Every structure is written in structure tokens, then in C-alpha cells.
A and B are shown apart, each in its own frame.
Chain A
Amino acid sequence: MKLDPVTLEILNNKVAAITEEMCVTLQRTGRTLYVKETADFACALAGLDGRFFAYPRSIGVSGFVGLDCLPSIEAVVATGGPLEPGDVILTNDPYRSEGLATHLPDLHMIEPYFHEGKIVAYGWCFVHCSDVGGRVPSSISPVNTEIFQEGLRIPPVKLLRRGEMSPEVRLFLDANSRTPEANMGDIRAMLAALAAGRRRVAQVVAQHGAEVLLDAETDLIAFAEAKARAVLSTIPEGTYNFSDYLDDDAATPLPVRLALALTIKGGAVMLDFTGSDPQVATAMNIPSRGRAHAWLTLRVLALVYTLDRTVPLNAGLLGPVSVVAPLGSIVNPEEPAATGVRHAAAVRVNDVLNGAFGLALPGVMPAASSGTVIPVVVAEPNAAGGRNVQVVEPMIGGTGARQGHDGVDGRDSGISNLANNPVETVEAELGVEILSYSLRPDSGGAGQWRGGCGMELTFRILTDGSNVLGRGMERLMFRPWGRNGGRPGAPGALILNRGGTDERWLGKIDMLSVRAGDTVTFLTPGAGGWGDPFLRDPMAVLQDVENGFVTVAAAQSDYGVAIKDGQVDKTATAALRAGQRGADHDIDFGPERAAWDSAFPPELMTRLNGRLLDDPLDLRQRRRREILERALAQLPAGFPRIAPAEAQARAAQDVLEAALGT
């Protein structure tokens, strides 16, 4: 460290507070939904290497600590010459910013902060803006197949030159958005945030000197890195393999595989995603550019922070982390893959990291959380002949149980920590009547510690000709897994007119047409349990029954606890539990995944995906689809909900082996 411990701590506090002050400035002056309600924005300070040395702790999007501004800065310098005071860079292009932006609605801005003619730091901020053009309003659709459908791409350019907004850039922006005024409002709010950062950085330089600031930038990153290494070096060394699936890729019913080999050695972590599926022809690809990108490393950050809450949030946290993300895979797609809903795949990336770290740290890591974020949207015709479009609720599930602790019911901050909508404000603005917004009994995976319950949302449509959108529905097929003998959570479901004569259980929907009087019920998955449920304290089971999280029937069947007249029947419980022990496999993925793996074993899938990457891009996806469809043809209808006979599974494997040429 170049600075003394007092000065370093002072600067540590100051620079973090500057980023938070930038955020509150942005939030105060911004006026779109993404800024005000969902806080889908962030601000930070980057050092001369383009990496963040200061990041806000409690406001804005938490996961972008690991982003890198340098490629965007270099791209602008290469085309437009050196940066000058008052210049501000704008970009939204995942490919040309090398993963600074990860989908087009995120507008990223960078301003160099100067002192006496030299750059001493960069201010950075981003906002998820309302619309950047493209095929659909709001620019995001899971079924976009190329980034060209997703809107205007802005390579890193100077939006401001010496404090003046470039009229040409502005013309392009205005002409390519359905909401140019709202976007300009967001841009103004970002400029206000960057200006706030500039003033405070200048104040720090005035108080402490530019040299001290520059030293602090490197010291703070080194400090965080040392702390991260100290935490990571407590993890048993070794290589830990884990894979998980998304139910499908939004366009075909084929599941999407994410695989990880996690290697821990000497306080360093390597994440090797080899074996993950090739990039998909929908918008779920994560444009990491093969880096230790924020979307691939969030769980490592969370692990370090969970085990040492004093660690400063900055790029140093990722110093010990390296990533292998094969080019052309879902975690490092080739241009022009669409990336609009990259967060959908990131949810599962989080799960595989959680799973792999859990093999190393079974007492620290939880079982799988519910792993789904569904903004349930209703679009209804309005009097003016248009449509009211409104989020009813962002539906999530619960968090996984961990050793010694039940999961949390109806909350999950794993990927996004969004607030829900008050039912009353929704009903005041939309023609729906929300009949139930509650937790889902028996959905949390059974275990010595119970997984968090999923949720239920039931609403009645009051206007004919309405549509319901349920994007992000996941884990309808592959359940949130349980750990160390804990059971998986219940899968999600969607039901039309539940309990009526015309009740229908629907699978995943993109858009559902409904009539006045219809009721729609979303059930989100429960999270995984931890440990053998037959070891759960009967009094804890009784309490769950009293509170309605577990039914009397499930207490008996899942936990071996007999409850009679509101009391634990000790004799009957002892009899139920005698000799019974949960299966002792480490991870319980549930029967669907077991069926799937019997026909598509992990090792074979890893080899197949490796082989597919050798094919050129246009062939890759088609070949994968052909191979999987051929294999599926060997399997029973309803697979993987229906388990295959051994011969059927063998036949499917043979198809894969044949495709591999072995």
C-alpha cells in the first residue's frame, strides 16, 4: 500500500460516498420508471485502467462492480483523439464496448475527470432507458434472434465534446427511439450524476492532492483483492463440477444447459464454463466477451461479501477470479447474437456457481433459490382505443435453505432485488382484481432446513380482449435443487380459471389472450431444502404447519412428523421416522432432471457442446437442435416428466455418441 492506514480509510469512505451521491443525484433528477421504481441504474468511479475503484453499496444495481470501461475509452480515443475536459462517452453496444453494456436499453456514460490537464479518474453511470427502437416497444423481447432487432446500437462515441452535446449524436438518438424525450431525461440525469462526481473528485483532490487520489485508486483495489484472496483461500482446494438447465430457450422447447468447472487453488478461483450450450438463437446470451464479467461472477462477489462484510466494493474483488467462457457459447456469444434478456441466463449462471461453491463449502452455500423473475404484465384495451400495459407484480420465489437456516419465503435478491407493487396501486390503474397474493404452502423444498416458499398470484380479468404476459417463467420443468439430502422445491405453474369447470394448466406462455371474468394464477417455484427432512426438529415442522407453510399431509409424507389436534404425535412420528432416511445424494435435482440426465448424461453433454463449438455459427445451432430432436425421438412422450426406460435412455445416448462420431 502506498498510503497510510488513516488516509486510505478516509479515501475509502469518501470515494464510495461519492458514487452514492452520484446515484442519489441520478435518482432525484431521473424520471422514468426504471430509475424511480426499480433502480435499474448505477454510478461508479473508475481508475486510469478503466476498472472501478469505488462502487455504491446500497443504491442502484449491485452487480456491475466488475465492469470495465477501458475498451470503450480506447475505442473513442482511437477514433476521435485524446479525451478533453467536458467530454462524455456514450455507448450501449455489448460488442464494441467489450461487455461494458450487456443489452441495448442500458445507456452507459463515461466522463474523464481532469486535474491540471491530466485525467485523475473516470466517472461512470448507466440507466436502463425506456426504449432504443428495435422490433418491439421497450426494445426487449426474448425471441429476438439478432442484436439488429433489438434497437439502435451506439458504439462508444463522444456524446459531449468539451461540455457541449454533439448535435449529430443527438439526432441519431432521437430518431431511433419510441420515447426520445424520456431518454433525453435519463441522459440529463446521468449528466447531473457525472457532474456531481466531478465536483466531489475535485474536492478530494483539493483536500488531499491528486497523487493521494491516484494512490488510493490502486491501493483500494489491492486492498479489496487481498481481502478477497483471504476469504477465498479458506475454501478447500479442488475442482468442482456443476451443471443446471433452463427449461427452454424461449423459441424451442429444448432445455439450455449451463455447466461449470470451478477450480480453487491458493486463493484464486477459475470458472470454466466449457460444456455450456452454444449461443442460442434467442435473446438469452450473456455477452461476457470471455472476461471475468459481472454477469458470470456475481455469486463470487456475493460469497466474498457474505463472508467479509468489511470488504470495499471494487474491481479488486475479482482480482483472484479468472474465467474460461468458450467463444460462441451462451456465456460468450459471437456477434450478432441477441442479448436483450441475458439476465434470464444469468439467473441460472448464479445457480451453477452456487452449486459448485456448495460442493466446496456445504455449510456456507444455500440450496437453489427459486430461480425465476417473472414480471407479470397485463395489457388491456382502454377507452381511447389504445392499450394500458402494466406490471401486475414482479413474481419471484424464495431463497434456498442452508445449514442451520431455513430459506426465506417469498423473497430472493439473488439477481435483482426489486420491490413489488402494492396491489392497491395496481387495481387503481388496471382493470384487474387481485384475488390472492400469497405464499404457496408445501412449495419450499423439504429438508432439515426448509427451502423458502414460492408465491401465488391470482387475478381476475375485468376487461375483454386483455392479454397476460409472463416472460421469465422458469423452473416449471427443472426444479430448484435441494442439497445435502434436502428436497427440491415445487416447480412453477400457470393455471387459467383454477378451481372452475374450465380450469386449464398451461405451460410457459409468451402472451395469453383472456376474457373478462377469467382468472389467472401464477405459482412460482419453491426453493430447495438443506439436509435430511427426517432430521428436522418436529417442533419446527409443527410451527410450519401452524403458520400454514406446510400442510399436515406434507408434514407426514415429507418430514415423517405426525400432527394430531395441533400437537406432534411423538409415537406416530417415531414410527414414521424409524429406519427412514432421505436419499443421501448430495444434490437432489428432482425427478425431471434425473430423467433428463439418464438420457443426456452430464459428461456426454459437455463433450457434445465442446464438439458443437467447432462448427461455424450458422451451423452450430441447427446441428444441436437436430441432434437433440433425434435423441428425444427415442424417449417417451412427456419426457422428462415421464422417466424413460433404460433402453430408451440408452438409445438416446447412442444418438449423441453417434453425433460425436464415437
Chain B
Amino acid sequence: MKEIMDQRDGAGVRIGIDVGGTFTDFVLSDSRDGRLAYFKEPSTPDDPSRALLTGLRSLLAREGLQPGDVGALMHGTTIGLNAIIQRRGARIGLIVTRGYRDILEIARCRMPSSFDFHATKEEPLVPRARILEIGARMTPRGEVLEAPAEDEIARVAVELRALDLDAAALVTINGYANPTVEADLAHRLGAAAGLPITSAAAIWPEIREYERTLVACLNAYIQPLMQRYFDGLVAGLAEQGVTAPLLVTASNGGSLSVGSALARPVDTILSGPAAGVMAAVRLAKAAGSGGIITFDMGGTSSDIAIATGETPELATRTDIGGLPLVLPVIDVSAIGAGGGSIVWVDPHGMLKVGPQSAGAAPGPVSYRRGGTEPAVTDCYLTLGYVDPAGFLGGRMPLDADAAHAALAEVGARIALTGSDRDVAARTADGALAVTTASMASALYKTLAERGLDPRDFALMPYGGAGPTHANRLAEEADIPHVIVPPAAGTFCALGAAGADLRRDFVRSLRLPLTPETGALVRETFAALEADGSAWLDAENEPGRPRRFERGADLRYKGQAYELRVALTDLSDAAVTEAFHREHERIYGFRDSRAEVEIGTVRLAAIGPADPLSAPELATAAPAEPKGHRQIFHRGAWVAAAVHDRHALGAGARVPGPAVVEQEDTTTVVLPGWSAHVDAAGNLHLQRQAQ
């Protein structure tokens, strides 16, 4: 224990791991010598832990470290998410209040499309035949309205056993108002049926029965899979002699112990993208940047997230394979194409990009894995952005001729004429213009939802194609500044390595804010804080630094919607004022006479992680290009300097047009823009002064 504590205090090595579809990425931070090391291992999708264990062994060997040097492993996984999307989770049942057997069938009553009458609704996680009713419900004030007698519990238990389930979930109407009652019933039913049963009210006591039911069902649905996976992983690590604590990154940007993650696997579903955004936020803060827009461009899509201050925005309504998730998660929005998105021509003659993607297999034409339709990556190649010999550090040579030919053929279909090379380049440039315009449009919409202006932000690209595409997007969207982080290709692993411990707690009240209820609000926050403290104690060692973030959903009486407001001072006057102020900020006025109502109160319990190593670059001589190549820009070929990222020291300046290459990605600096390197190794792209 003592040894582990020392390591958590920064004496050991922390390793962040992100399991992607193609590669498993590692970032190692050693506080003893300030080292920060990156590593990539091809993924093994059939059993993700194999790549993880192999890669870890190789990384430690490369860095000259022993298994015992590892102080902590931080790991994100998409096992849960994939199981949900592919509907391959456990065989679960659901027990609901009598009269609500169709809670999953009815959902929120909406169809995915208003126009497409062939569209159908999402497949429910639990078929109706495995949903049982029980006479149990509360009043909205948390009084027991109906409780099942022993014989009814016994009857339900018998039916549960007959269904041959792996796990089940329980939801009672108004259960959120007094979660211990439902938790107790889940316990009794579970004992009688010999089954793990997730109580919806216990796991997430927020008003809205359908959404809460989904939280509980998703949890039960992925729990057995996660259990098997982590059991295997922990055993595999032990075999290697790694006994350091394993932490699992969470969708809210934090992390949990394996024990917590197995009790609440639903908290980890979207951990991969969340970790990347957290890395970006930490890095932007260190670089002294204000607001950032993260831009993660991978093989099939591009995602953005927005951070106006030190914390990225959280969403409490996310779509998971057609199902709404109300847990707070880092708010990531898809804005368009990825490197594998296909360039094609509509039967009526318009040039289109995506949404179909060639993915990693068959991949773009230039991968030579059987792809016949050109993809965005083929455009980069054709325009000279990417060196066919330098892709993935030269491990995967690309076929530039095949990309040219495929794009030239598309060009002919939109009636472009000229030399093949020229037609291919103009087609590629057009396809990227189409892609970029639609990305910028989606980005504007995302900003408009929040009332924000792109000119107040820096764009932080990562993922394989992010830095290659970022300058085009910044130019189109009028974003003045791009910050390319040093290890843009292993960014999610970096985020995992630096993740705080974090868990979110809620309780729905639905009360007018008065002196009497104000006391109840403070009591509720105190109770949530006690829950949060107890959780942190169990995750960590008691006494380590911690902090709590508080917020509430408030509204004027009679309003149909609530505003989420961050709270520091919990006095009645301060809570009311915080709401008035937020209402004024968004709607331009306050209604001082109206009664204010408090809906759901929220608390995040956070155990800050130690800062990661931040090696500083040496100041170097002026940047010397390693060569030049032609890139296609606005209809003409221009000579761009080609730089090796690792040769650029702090303070180095690279005027566009230029290409900066590193093992896992390529940064394009367009004419009219200029890049410079800061002490932490970030590449800053800005418009050149005229």
C-alpha cells in the first residue's frame, strides 16, 4: 500500500492507453526524469487486451523500465460502446412499475426522421418478453405509494429465473425521489433471483423515467462483458509483473478505479474521445490559450468539442447508437468527413464526399487493400500534403499513382478536362473544399447553439488527419489560430495518462426556491458531497486533495425548460442570483419577480491527478527544411518547404506554404499562414501579417 501511495504521489511512471480501431496508443509520463514517451501498437480487435499487453511490454523494454516501475495505468476502452451499438451485450431483463412494460418501446415517442416513412425506431435494449411488471412505485415527493409483498417478490424472482438472464435492471416510477427504497428492492429481488440487478434510482436518481431506465439497462447490458475483459486484463498484467493500480477513463473526462468501473460501467462508454478533449484542454491552458475547439479527425469522421475556460463543456443528452444518454459526458459533436470518407459523384452531377467511408479496410485507394473509390486521404496525397513514403513513419507506403488515377476518373465525371495530374488535383482540391465547407458549417451550428464566435477560439487538431486538414478548416471558418500538439496522433492516450479521478452525482428535487427549501437544497448538496467524499476515499487514499463542483438546473416557475447553472455559494440569494444572471446572459433579461424553481442538483467529486511531465524543447537554430515538394493550392502548384517536426526547436518559424512531417501525422501550413514552435513543442499556425 505504501509503495502504491508513493507512486500515486508521483514517484512512479504513469501510462495512458487508448485502444483505437487500428492502433493501440501509449503515452508514458515519468515524473522522476521528466520523460514523456509515445508508442503505437497495431490493435487486436478480437481481444483488445492482447495489443495492450504486447505494446506495454515493448514500451517498457524500449524505455529501459521494469514492470515494477509502473505506478499507474490509465485505460480507456470502447468495448461497452461497441457492444451497445452492435447490440451484442448481455442477455438482460427489466423490472418496471406495473403499467409501464412498454417504457422502452414507447421511449420519447419520436421517430428518427419526419420525412422518411421507411425509417424505423431504434431496437430496444430489452425485448418486451423480458420485461416484468411489479407493484412498486413512489409519489413525486418520495413517499411509498405501493410496495410489493414478499409473495410478489418471490413471483417476480421465479419469472426472472425462468428467463435465464445474465443481469437485470429495476426502475420504479418516481424512484428518483427516494433512491434507497428502490435500491433496497433491487437488492431483495437480486438475492431472490440470484442475479445482479441494477437499480435505476440508485445509479442515477434523476427525474425522467425513460432516460433513467436506459442508464440502468445500459449498465446491466455491458457489465458482464466489462467484467470478463478487466478480469483478463488484470490477470495478464499480473503475469507481466505489473501490479500498479489500473484506472479506467470515463465519459466525463475523469477516471475511475477498476472496481468502480465494474460497478458503473455505463460511466465509461464514451471515454476515448473524452480523454482526447481533456488532453487538449490541459495543453491549451499550459500554452496560455483561451478558448479552444478540438478537432479530432480520424478514419471515418471528424469530431469537435468546445472549451471556453479550463473545462470542456459537458452534455447531458448524448446519442448512443440511437439511444439517449443523460449522464454528463464531454460534449463531442461529429462535424463531417474523416480520412476514409469517399469522394463520389451524385447521379445528377454534384461532387460529394461521404458519408460512406472506406474505413481502414478496404481503406482509401492508395492503401492498396482493395479500395476502388478515392477517399479524403487520397486527396491529401494527390495535393502533395502527404508523402506517400512517409505515412505512419514509412511503415505503410501509399500508392500515389492509384490515388491520382481514381481521382482523375471522378474528375472526368464532373467534366473536368486537362492532364490527368491536373484533373486529379483539381478534383482533390474540390473534394476537400466541399468537405471543409460542410465541416465549417457544422462547426458554426455547434457554436451557434451556445452563442459563441469562432474568432474567439484556437483550433486544436489531433488524430491522424487533424493536423493535415486543420489549416484549411481554420481558413474556411475564420478561426485565427491553430495549435498542433506535439503527439497529435496519440492524443487520447495522453489524455488518459493525465485524467483526474471524477464521478458525477445528481438528485432531482423539483421545488420552488424558498427559505425552507433552500435549507433542503443545501442538505442535498451536503449529502451528495458526503457520497462523493466516500467514493474518493474508496478510490484513493483518504486525505488526498479533492474538490467538488456544484451546479443545478433552475427555471422560472411555469417555464418549460431549465438552465444549468454552476454554483459556488449555496445561499438562497446567491443561487437565485446565479440563475438570474445566466438567464440574462442567454435570453437578455431577468424576471426578478418570478418564483425560481430548482430541478436537479448536480455535484462532481474530483480527485486531481498529478501534472504530467512537460519536457521543454531546446531553443534551436532557425528551421532548415529537409527538402521541398509541390503542393496544389487554389488551382496552381506551389513549392512548399518540407520540415521534420523533430528538427524544429523552440522558437523555430516556418512560413507557409510548408509541410511539417512527423511519424504519426503531417501538418500543412497554407500560403499566407506561418507556423512557430513554442517551448512545449506545440506548433502554432497563424495568419501572416500582411
A positions within 8 Å CB-CB of B: 1, 4-6, 8-10, 12-14, 16-18, 20-21, 24-25, 27-29, 31-33, 36-37, 62-63, 185, 188, 196, 200, 203, 223, 226-227, 230, 301-303, 305-306, 309-310, 366, 394, 396, 399, 402, 405, 408-414, 417-420, 422-425, 427-429, 433-439, 455, 458, 546-549
Shortest Cβ distance from residue A39 to the other chain B in the assembled complex, whole angstroms: 10
Check if B522 is an interface residue, CB within 8 A of chain A: no
Tell me which of B97-105, B185-193, B281-289 binds A.
B97-105
Given A31-B559, A200-B444, A410-B102, list of 4 further CB < 8 A pairs?
Answer: A36-B560, A396-B109, A419-B108, A547-B129
Q: Do residues B448 and A196 form an inter-chain contact, with CB atoms below 8 A? A: yes
Q: Do residues A546 and B110 form an inter-chain contact, with CB atoms below 8 A? A: no
Residues of A within 8 A of B671 (CB): none
Shortest Cβ distance from residue A618 to the other chain B in the assembled complex, whole angstroms: 39
Distance A227 CA – B127 CA, assembled complex (angstroms): 40
| Total inter-chain residue pairs, C-beta < 8 Å | 193
Residue ID in chain B nearest A388 by CB atoms: B558
Q: Do residues A36 and B561 form an inter-chain contact, with CB atoms below 8 A? A: yes
Q: Do residues A306 and B118 form an inter-chain contact, with CB atoms below 8 A? A: yes
Q: Do residues B116 and A302 form an inter-chain contact, with CB atoms below 8 A? A: yes
Q: Do residues A6 and B414 form an inter-chain contact, with CB atoms below 8 A? A: yes
Q: Do residues B210 and A422 form an inter-chain contact, with CB atoms below 8 A? A: yes
Q: Do residues B99 and A549 form an inter-chain contact, with CB atoms below 8 A? A: no
Residues of B within 8 A of A10 (CB): 433-434, 437-438
Q: Do residues A12 and B113 form an inter-chain contact, with CB atoms below 8 A? A: no
Distance A423 CA – B97 CA, assembled complex (angstroms): 12
Residues of A within 8 A of B129 (CB): 546-548
Distance A586 CA – B329 CA, assembled complex (angstroms): 51
- Enumerate 11 A-B pairs (CB-CB under 8 Å) in ascending A order: A21-B445, A27-B449, A29-B587, A33-B560, A62-B114, A200-B444, A408-B111, A414-B117, A424-B207, A425-B208, A549-B128
Point out which of A8, A366, A438, A458 has the most chain B C-beta atoms below 10 A from its C-beta: A438
Shortest Cβ distance from residue B583 to the other chain A in the assembled complex, whole angstroms: 9
Residues of A within 8 A of B118 (CB): 306, 402, 405
Q: Do residues B438 and A17 form an inter-chain contact, with CB atoms below 8 A? A: yes
Q: Do residues B510 and A9 form an inter-chain contact, with CB atoms below 8 A? A: no
Residue ID in chain A nearest B509 by CB atoms: A428
Residues of B within 8 A of A427 (CB): 139-140, 173-174
Residues of B within 8 A of A422 (CB): 207-211
Residue ID in chain A nearest B118 by CB atoms: A306
Q: Do residues B349 and A5 form an inter-chain contact, with CB atoms below 8 A? A: yes
Q: Do residues B106 and A410 form an inter-chain contact, with CB atoms below 8 A? A: yes
Q: Do residues A188 and B588 form an inter-chain contact, with CB atoms below 8 A? A: yes
- Selected contact of A13 from candidates B431, B434, B449, CB within 8 Å: B434
Distance A36 CA – B434 CA, assembled complex (angstroms): 32
Residue ID in chain A nearest B591 by CB atoms: A181
Q: Mark B427-465, 1 if CB is under 8 A from A, else 0.
A: 000110110011001101100111100000000000000
Distance A56 CA – B360 CA, assembled complex (angstroms): 32
- Selected contact of A21 from candidates B105, B140, B444, CB within 8 Å: B444
Q: Do residues B586 and A29 form an inter-chain contact, with CB atoms below 8 A? A: yes
Q: Do residues A436 and B99 form an inter-chain contact, with CB atoms below 8 A? A: yes
Residue ID in chain A nearest B99 by CB atoms: A436
Q: Do residues A31 and B434 form an inter-chain contact, with CB atoms below 8 A? A: no
Check if B348 is an interface residue, CB within 8 A of chain A: yes
Q: Do residues B106 and A455 form an inter-chain contact, with CB atoms below 8 A? A: yes
Shortest Cβ distance from residue B151 to the other chain A in the assembled complex, whole angstroms: 22
Residue ID in chain A nearest B137 by CB atoms: A433
Q: Do residues A439 and B106 form an inter-chain contact, with CB atoms below 8 A? A: yes
Check if B592 is an interface residue, CB within 8 A of chain A: no
Residues of B within 8 A of A301 (CB): 115
Known: A13-B438, A28-B448, A414-B117. A458 touches B351 (CB 8 A): no
Distance A305 CA – B114 CA, assembled complex (angstroms): 10
Q: Do residues A5 and B444 form an inter-chain contact, with CB atoms below 8 A? A: no
Check if B584 is an interface residue, CB within 8 A of chain A: no
Distance A450 CA – B544 CA, assembled complex (angstroms): 61
Known: A8-B350, A185-B587, A548-B101. A305 touches B115 (CB 8 A): yes
Residue ID in chain A nearest B175 by CB atoms: A424
Q: Do residues B414 and A32 form an inter-chain contact, with CB atoms below 8 A? A: no
Q: Do residues A548 and B128 form an inter-chain contact, with CB atoms below 8 A? A: yes
Shortest Cβ distance from residue B344 to the other chain A in the assembled complex, whole angstroms: 11
Q: Do residues B121 and A408 form an inter-chain contact, with CB atoms below 8 A? A: yes
- Selected contact of A419 from candidates B101, B110, B349, CB within 8 Å: B110
Residues of B within 8 A of A455 (CB): 106
Shortest Cβ distance from residue A427 to the other chain B in the assembled complex, whole angstroms: 5
Distance A10 CA – B434 CA, assembled complex (angstroms): 5
Q: Do residues B441 and A17 form an inter-chain contact, with CB atoms below 8 A? A: yes
Q: Do residues A413 and B110 form an inter-chain contact, with CB atoms below 8 A? A: yes
B positions within 8 Å CB-CB of A: 98-102, 105-106, 108-111, 113-121, 127-129, 139-140, 145, 173-174, 176, 207-211, 345-352, 414-415, 430-431, 433-434, 437-438, 441-442, 444-445, 448-451, 478, 510, 559-561, 586-588
Residues of A within 8 A of B117 (CB): 302-303, 306, 366, 399, 413-414
Distance A255 CA – B481 CA, assembled complex (angstroms): 66
Distance A425 CA – B140 CA, assembled complex (angstroms): 9
User: What 10 pairs across the A-B complex have the smallest Cβ distances?
Assistant: A17-B441, A436-B99, A6-B430, A413-B111, A547-B128, A420-B109, A62-B114, A33-B560, A305-B115, A13-B438
Known: A185-B587, A455-B106. A9 touches B351 (CB 8 A): yes
Q: Do residues A37 and B173 form an inter-chain contact, with CB atoms below 8 A? A: no
Residues of B within 8 A of A32 (CB): 560
Q: Do residues B414 and A31 form an inter-chain contact, with CB atoms below 8 A? A: no
Point out which of A226, A230, A425 has the most chain B C-beta atoms below 10 A from its C-beta: A425
Q: Do residues A306 and B140 form an inter-chain contact, with CB atoms below 8 A? A: no
Residues of B within 8 A of A9 (CB): 350-352, 434
Residue ID in chain B nearest A62 by CB atoms: B114
Q: Do residues B449 and A428 form an inter-chain contact, with CB atoms below 8 A? A: no
Residues of B within 8 A of A394 (CB): 109
Residue ID in chain A nearest B176 by CB atoms: A424
Shortest Cβ distance from residue A215 to the other chain B in the assembled complex, whole angstroms: 14
Shortest Cβ distance from residue A54 to the other chain B in the assembled complex, whole angstroms: 11
Known: A5-B345, A547-B128. A424 touches B140 (CB 8 A): yes
Residues of B within 8 A of A62 (CB): 114-115
Distance A429 CA – B207 CA, assembled complex (angstroms): 12
Q: Do residues B445 and A17 form an inter-chain contact, with CB atoms below 8 A? A: yes
- Selected contact of A435 from candidates B99, B478, B559, CB within 8 Å: B99
Q: Do residues B116 and A411 form an inter-chain contact, with CB atoms below 8 A? A: no
Distance A548 CA – B127 CA, assembled complex (angstroms): 11
Known: A13-B438, A438-B102. A310 touches B445 (CB 8 A): no
Residue ID in chain A nearest B560 by CB atoms: A33
Distance A196 CA – B561 CA, assembled complex (angstroms): 23
Q: Do residues A439 and B102 form an inter-chain contact, with CB atoms below 8 A? A: yes
Q: Do residues A428 and B349 form an inter-chain contact, with CB atoms below 8 A? A: no
Q: Do residues A305 and B116 form an inter-chain contact, with CB atoms below 8 A? A: yes
Q: Do residues B105 and A424 form an inter-chain contact, with CB atoms below 8 A? A: no
Q: Do residues A438 and B99 form an inter-chain contact, with CB atoms below 8 A? A: yes
Q: Do residues A417 and B114 form an inter-chain contact, with CB atoms below 8 A? A: yes
Shortest Cβ distance from residue A435 to the other chain B in the assembled complex, whole angstroms: 5
Residue ID in chain A nearest B437 by CB atoms: A10
Residues of B within 8 A of A408 (CB): 111, 120-121
- Selected contact of B111 from candidates A1, A20, A417, A424, CB within 8 Å: A417
Residues of B within 8 A of A306 (CB): 115-118
Q: Do residues B210 and A13 form an inter-chain contact, with CB atoms below 8 A? A: no
Q: Do residues B99 and A437 form an inter-chain contact, with CB atoms below 8 A? A: yes
Residues of A within 8 A of B433 (CB): 6, 10
Shortest Cβ distance from residue B113 to the other chain A in the assembled complex, whole angstroms: 7
Shortest Cβ distance from residue A376 to the other chain B in the assembled complex, whole angstroms: 13
Q: Do residues B101 and A25 form an inter-chain contact, with CB atoms below 8 A? A: no
Q: Do residues A423 and B209 form an inter-chain contact, with CB atoms below 8 A? A: yes
Known: A25-B448, A546-B129. A420 touches B116 (CB 8 A): no
Residues of B within 8 A of A402 (CB): 118
Distance A16 CA – B445 CA, assembled complex (angstroms): 11
Distance A27 CA – B118 CA, assembled complex (angstroms): 28
Shortest Cβ distance from residue A313 to the other chain B in the assembled complex, whole angstroms: 8
Residues of A within 8 A of B431 (CB): 6
Q: Do residues A21 and B448 form an inter-chain contact, with CB atoms below 8 A? A: yes
Q: Do residues A12 and B99 form an inter-chain contact, with CB atoms below 8 A? A: no
